Amino acid sequence: MKFGGTSVGTPQRMKEVVKLISDADQKIVVLSAMSGTTNQLYEISDYLYKKNPVGANENINILEEKYYKHVDELYTTEEYKEKTRQFLKQEFDYIRSFTKGIFTMFEEKIIVGQGEILSTNMVTNYLLEQGYNAALLPALDFMRTDKNSEPDLEYIREKLKITLAEMPNKDIYITQGFICRNAYGEVDNLQRGGSDYSASLIGAAIEASEIQIWTDIDGMHNNDPRYVENTSPVQTLSFEEASELAYFGAKILHPTCVQPAKFAGIPVKLLNTMDPTAPGTVISNKTQRGSIKAVAAKDNITAINITSSRMLLAYGFLRKVFEIFETYKTSIDMVTTSEVGVSVSIDNTSNLSQILNELKKLGTVSVDVDMCIICVVGDLDWHNIGFESLATETMKDVPVRMISYGGSNHNISFLVAAADKKKALQSLSNHLFKNN
């Protein structure tokens, strides 16, 4: 069971989490940092990079104050209040120790991981105070990435087994999301929002019966509720559909998270801490045939078009184009081609000018900025008739820059101007999910 930052965002929320984790089933609980904390830790690191220890200290003090305030609200006994105060003092003194001496990426990795150390210790202390049979599993003892910065599932599996054996027969094990060690044993993390990934890896490592990701929304919605009215949760998704949606903007799940669960064949449930009995979304290896499931949008997309008569009847042209993006470590989201041209979309523009310089050696280049990918996900197997025309028909009042279909069996994507995003999403909802 994984609980995100808002689910542990206040002492009250922490108590709600404890209600959800204290049934009879034995479990590992992965916690994020209290919401806002990781951002503040990055801010503190930023001051230290800028060689401003005074600024860093001011921010550390503000954060520390906030945490001390939680103590009286969370615990009832003087014993646990004192125990937690001592823990917090030790923690914040440790964070303060980085304001002296050199500050590099290594120190930053340690600092930004303290949010999870704080939240997990606080919740474990609360469980122990309340008399639960609980223990804290230090994630740094078993979470590890390999030399390619990919999680090392073999290592995680073995080490987690040993760590669990050292603390046998607990009902509830609490551990930190996000943080890990790298192949050299140094403190590292699974990138922003990585706690979902931690949960999926741990679930796969212990061959859990299911992985539950608890947030504050009742599952993955069939459209973005921030832009569209009358969205509803999707009850079932295949792993492929869920990854597409997560990658293309459904904020509820970290895009890499589903991979370990998918390989291990373990269902992932998305559940709502505010409405724990709601069915949520179940992501599994099963594909539900014959329906379009959901729509998501990815912002800040740039489209690049290269046309060249040299492409006509030539081979190797696309390789040259793609190699340029590879050289500048820029990943491509969408691709469309014609006999004399290719359009691609990217979301990372930090090397755009170099990329354009190189592309101009190959052909005539044009760029459209402020675009947005609208991704329609469902059973879009090419043998099915009608779904692609239905989706396209829905976009009839929206200028479309690119359409991509056939790359997989469960996606059709449209590239539109960011200004048309809301209209496109609403129109898709109206036409595709009107019976929901």
C-beta neighbour count of 150 within 10 angstroms: 11
Q: Alpha-carbon distance 235 to 222, whole Å?
A: 10
Q: Is 429 helix (H, G, I), strand (E, B) or coil?
A: helix
Interface mask toward ligand ASP for 335-364; x: CB under 6 A: ------------------------------
- Under 8 Å between Cβ of 238 and 245: no
Helix ranges, 99-257 (H): 105-112, 114-129, 153-166, 195-205, 239-247
C-beta neighbour count of 406 within 10 angstroms: 10
Residue 372 — φ and ψ, nearest 5°?
Answer: -150, 135
Query: Would you count residue 9 as binding Mg ion (CB under 5 A)?
Result: no
Query: Would you count residue 19 as binding ligand ASP (CB under 6 A)?
Result: no
Q: Which listed residue (98, 178, 214, 387) binds ligand ASP by CB under 6 A?
A: 178
Nearer to ligand ASP, 250 or 355 (CB): 250
- Tell me which of ligand ASP, Mg ion, none is bound by residue 6, counting a contact when its beta carbon lies within the kind-specific cut-off of 5 to 8 angstroms: none
Residues 21-40 that bind ligand ASP (CB under 6 A): 32-33, 38
Strand order in the sheet with 281-284: 134-137, 172-176, 27-31, 2-3, 211-215, 268-272, 281-284, 236-238
Q: Taking the complex as a whole, how short is the minimal distance between the CB of residue 193 and Mg ion, in angstroms?
A: 5
Interface mask toward ligand ASP for 140-159; x: CB under 6 A: --------------------
Indicate the burial class of 268 (C-beta count within 10 angstroms; 0-12, 13-18, 19 or more).
Answer: buried
Q: Alpha-carbon distance 424 to 414, whole Å?
A: 9
Q: Taking the complex as a whole, how short is the minimal distance between the CB of residue 10 and Mg ion, in angstroms?
A: 15
Nearer to ligand ASP, 88 or 424 (CB): 88
- Tell me which of Mg ion, ligand ASP, none is bound by residue 89, counting a contact when its beta carbon lies within the kind-specific cut-off of 5 to 8 angstroms: none
In the block, residue with structure tokens 């034995």 = 26
Query: Would you count residue 233 as binding ligand ASP (CB under 6 A)?
Result: no
Residue 263 — φ and ψ, nearest 5°?
Answer: -65, -35
Size of the site for ligand ASP (CB under 6 A): 12
Tokens of 150: 């990919």
Q: Taking the complex as a whole, how short is the minimal distance between the CB of residue 88 and ligand ASP, in angstroms?
A: 18
- Tell me which of Mg ion, ligand ASP, none is bound by residue 317, counting a contact when its beta carbon lies within the kind-specific cut-off of 5 to 8 angstroms: none
Best CA proximity match to 31, nearest among 88, 109, 116: 116
Nearer to ligand ASP, 139 or 355 (CB): 139
Question: Which amino acid, residue 214?
Answer: W
Q: Give the interface segment with ligand ASP, choosing from 148-156, 190-198, 234-242, 395-403 (CB under 6 A).
A: 190-198
Interface mask toward Mg ion for 11-40; x: CB under 5 A: ---------------------x--------
Residue 48 — φ and ψ, nearest 5°?
Answer: -70, -35
Q: Give the interface segment with Mg ion, choosing from 3-11, 182-190, 228-236, 361-369 (CB under 5 A).
A: 3-11
Instruction: Outline where DSSP puts E strands in 249-309.
Output: 268-272, 281-284, 292-307
Query: Would you count residue 195 as binding ligand ASP (CB under 6 A)?
Result: yes
Q: Which residues contact 3 (CB under 8 A, 6 or more apart)?
A: 17, 29, 30, 31, 32, 214, 273
Q: Which residues contact 198 (CB under 8 A, 6 or more apart)?
A: 2, 30, 139, 143, 175, 176, 177, 178, 180, 190
Rounded to whole angstroms, the maximal C-alpha distance in the chain is: 80
Nearer to Mg ion, 16 or 129 (CB): 16
- Tell me which of Mg ion, ligand ASP, none is bound by residue 33, counting a contact when its beta carbon lies within the kind-specific cut-off of 5 to 8 angstroms: ligand ASP
Q: Give the interface segment with Mg ion, choosing from 1-9, 111-119, 322-330, 409-417 (CB under 5 A).
A: 1-9
Residues 69-128 that bind ligand ASP (CB under 6 A): 115
- Stretch (H or E) spanning 69: helix 53-74
Query: Would you count residue 378 as binding ligand ASP (CB under 6 A)?
Result: no
Query: Would you count residue 113 as binding Mg ion (CB under 5 A)?
Result: no
Q: Which listed residue (9, 194, 249, 280) binds ligand ASP by CB under 6 A?
A: 194
Nearer to ligand ASP, 8 or 377 (CB): 8
Interface mask toward Mg ion for 51-90; x: CB under 5 A: ----------------------------------------
Summarize as ranges the residues that interact with ligand ASP (CB under 6 A). 4-5, 32-33, 38, 115, 177-178, 192-195
